[in-house]
């Protein structure tokens, strides 16, 4: 059976909102047909017949959403981290992405990527592919088989990129993208296509306009990049002088929220006008702290976005970020927010652990609907954390153990179980 009904027992932590972490020691998390029926300190009578999977003293937390990750960039993670965005794209990213014209290379690389993602703390992800349809279809097939819930995008770019990574013209790009969307929409249970203009500088107006039309026709979400780097923003001004802000370019073509569910990566330098537009259109921000460090992009004002109520989650932006770990992403988000507070704006307090945890779970999970929490009615995505290898003489309460795990996952932490929409991704029941 695809979706099981069962109970997970352990020390359960989850966030219903950004300000508070619910902790239930030795609690019961009830899953019926893949959906959470709530968390209980004592098991209600009506669930007594369900099988209990007892994780004893381990921590049980909601799965995490990586709202922005580039699958083809996994192979050069950790390399070339000394350049800014535009030079990094030209020097490292575009040459590597060109290789995905070769399906055999794509198979080798995407197998590694999807296996590692399956074994990571990520339960849901919004993924960039490349312009190549066969390789992107293969990526989708592999992603689907992981059991993770994902969106994957065939990238569109028809200008300002090397010949071997540029679609011939807007018309042919749109024709092949429409064929790809109709072939891939609803083809897989776990993986859906997403409309993916790379970013405004590599897309002509006619391409963006056509993608806006395809969005309306197929009613699929949109992902792209926004206001990541100062040179990028100047370039967008040159290319689209009629637009009063970068986000206004996407908005003009119907690719900026409203009816089109949209996630924009970065938003490090969004103007007042852009922030207001994101707020009005309910555009998601994928905050990618490690990428913003590595590419010397800057620090996104996440406290401001939280205060404005803009929907937001976290992204690794692999390979702008070198790590796939969402735990690392949480720690980095907290870290850069402290630098922002200290160096840029003393009015914007650093993120708390609760807030960063919320962003990684329910914040980003909401892009998929009811995901990222254990509240009743949510799809049951859960991680089981064994922290027994993170040794300490000090007695810690459950919240402290989780906090330590976020920082030390790679130094003694072990993922002991992973469930997505009620399905055990690691394959074997305890």
Please give the residue ranges that form the binding site for ligand GUN (CB under 6 A). Answer: 70, 85, 89, 93, 198-199, 225, 228, 291, 317, 320
For residue 85, the partner it binds in ligand GUN, Fe ion, none, with Cβ less than 5 to 8 A by kind, is ligand GUN
Cβ 294 to Fe ion, closest distance in Å?
11
Please say which residue, 208 or 390, places its beta carbon nearer to Fe ion.
208
Cβ 412 to Fe ion, closest distance in Å?
30
| Segment contacting Fe ion by CB under 5 A, of 177-185, 212-220, 236-244, 309-317 | 309-317
Question: Hey, what are 153's tokens?
Answer: 């995008």
Cβ 329 to ligand GUN, closest distance in Å?
14
Sheet (strand 6-17) strand order: 35-40, 20-32, 6-17, 52-62, 382-386, 414-420, 423-424
> Which residues, other chains included, contact 44 with Cβ-Cβ below 8 Å and sequence gap of 6+?
30
Degrees to nearest 5, angle at CA 265 with 132 and 335: 130
Residue from 317, 332, 381, 387 in contact with Fe ion (CB under 5 A): 317
DSSP 139-165: HHHHHHHHT-EEEEE-EE--SSS-GGG
Cβ 209 to Fe ion, closest distance in Å?
23
CA dihedral 113, 119, 120, 121 (to 10 degrees): 140
Cβ 70 to ligand GUN, closest distance in Å?
5
Task: Please answer whether residues 332 and 287 qualify as being in contact, where contact means their C-beta atoms are separated by less than 8 angstroms.
Answer: no
Please say which residue, 317 or 381, places its beta carbon nearer to Fe ion.
317
Report d(CA 36, CA 268) in Å as an integer. 35
For residue 228, the partner it binds in ligand GUN, Fe ion, none, with Cβ less than 5 to 8 A by kind, is ligand GUN
Please say which residue, 14 or 128, places its beta carbon nearer to ligand GUN.
128
Q: Which residue is nearest to ligand GUN (CB)?
A: 320
For residue 208, the partner it binds in Fe ion, ligand GUN, none, with Cβ less than 5 to 8 A by kind, is none
Total number of residues shown for the chain:
430
For residue 199, the partner it binds in Fe ion, ligand GUN, none, with Cβ less than 5 to 8 A by kind, is ligand GUN
Decide if residue 96 touches Fe ion (CB under 5 A): no
H helix or E strand, kind and range, residue 133: helix 133-146
What DSSP state is assigned to residue 195?
B
For residue 340, the partner it binds in ligand GUN, Fe ion, none, with Cβ less than 5 to 8 A by kind, is none
Binding residues for Fe ion restricted to 257-296, rule: CB under 5 A:
265
Please say which residue, 83 or 103, places its beta carbon nearer to Fe ion.
83
Decide if residue 228 touches Fe ion (CB under 5 A): no
Cβ 89 to ligand GUN, closest distance in Å?
6
Integer angstrom CA distances of residue 354 from 131, 276, 299, 359, 426: 38, 26, 20, 9, 27
Residue 162's nearest CA partner among 96, 107, 226 is 96
For residue 18, the partner it binds in ligand GUN, Fe ion, none, with Cβ less than 5 to 8 A by kind, is none
Cβ 199 to ligand GUN, closest distance in Å?
4
Cβ 279 to ligand GUN, closest distance in Å?
23
Please say which residue, 274 or 317, places its beta carbon nearer to ligand GUN.
317
Integer angstrom CA distances of residue 282 from 285, 311, 371, 372: 9, 7, 18, 19
3-state helix, strand, coil in the chain (%, to 5): 40, 25, 35
Question: Hey, what are 226's tokens?
Answer: 């926004």
Decide if residue 97 touches Fe ion (CB under 5 A): no
Which residues of the chain form contacts with Fe ion (CB under 5 A)? 265, 317
């Amino acid at each position: 059976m695809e979706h099981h009904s069962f109970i997970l027992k352990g020390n359960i932590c989850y966030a219903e909102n950004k300000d508070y972490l619910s902790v239930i020691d030795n609690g019961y998390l009830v899953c019926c047909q893949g959906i959470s029926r709530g968390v209980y300190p004592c098991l209600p009578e009506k669930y007594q017949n369900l099988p209990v999977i007892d994780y004893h003293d381990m921590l049980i937390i909601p799965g995490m959403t990586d709202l922005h990750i580039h699958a083809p960039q996994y192979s050069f993670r950790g390399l070339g981290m000394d350049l800014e965005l535009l030079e990094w794209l030209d020097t490292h990213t575009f040459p590597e992405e060109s290789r995905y014209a070769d399906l055999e290379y794509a198979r080798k690389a995407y197998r590694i990527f999807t296996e590692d993602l399956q074994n990571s703390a990520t339960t849901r992800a919004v993924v960039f592919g490349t312009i190549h349809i066969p390789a992107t279809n293969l990526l989708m097939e592999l992603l689907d088989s992981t059991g993770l819930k994902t969106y994957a995008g065939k990238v569109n770019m028809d200008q300002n990129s090397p010949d071997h990574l540029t679609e011939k013209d807007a018309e042919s790009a749109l024709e092949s993208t429409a064929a790809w969307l109709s072939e891939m929409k609803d083809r897989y249970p776990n993986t859906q296509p997403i409309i993916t203009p790379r970013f405004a500088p590599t897309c002509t107006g006619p391409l963006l306009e056509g993608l806006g039309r395809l969005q309306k026709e197929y009613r699929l979400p949109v992902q792209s990049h926004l206001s990541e780097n100062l040179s990028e923003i100047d370039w967008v001004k040159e290319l689209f002088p009629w637009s009063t802000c970068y986000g206004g370019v996407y908005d003009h073509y119907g690719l900026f929220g409203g009816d089109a569910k949209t996630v924009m990566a970065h938003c490090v330098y969004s103007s007042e006008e852009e922030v207001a537009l994101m707020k009005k259109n309910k555009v998601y921000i994928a905050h990618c702290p490690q990428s913003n460090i590595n590419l010397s992009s800057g620090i996104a004002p996440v406290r401001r976005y939280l205060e404005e109520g803009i929907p937001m989650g976290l992204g690794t932006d692999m390979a702008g970020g070198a790590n796939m770990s969402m735990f690392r992403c949480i720690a980095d988000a907290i870290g850069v927010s402290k630098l922002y507070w200290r160096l840029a704006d003393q009015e914007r307090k650093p993120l708390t652990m609760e807030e960063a945890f919320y962003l990684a779970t329910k914040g980003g999970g909401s892009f998929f609907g009811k995901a990222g929490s254990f509240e009743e009615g949510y799809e049951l995505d859960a991680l089981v954390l064994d922290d027994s290898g993170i040794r300490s003489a000090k007695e810690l309460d459950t919240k402290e153990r989780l906090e330590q795990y976020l920082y030390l996952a790679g130094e003694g932490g072990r993922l002991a179980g992973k469930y997505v929409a009620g399905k055990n991704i690691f394959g074997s029941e305890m």
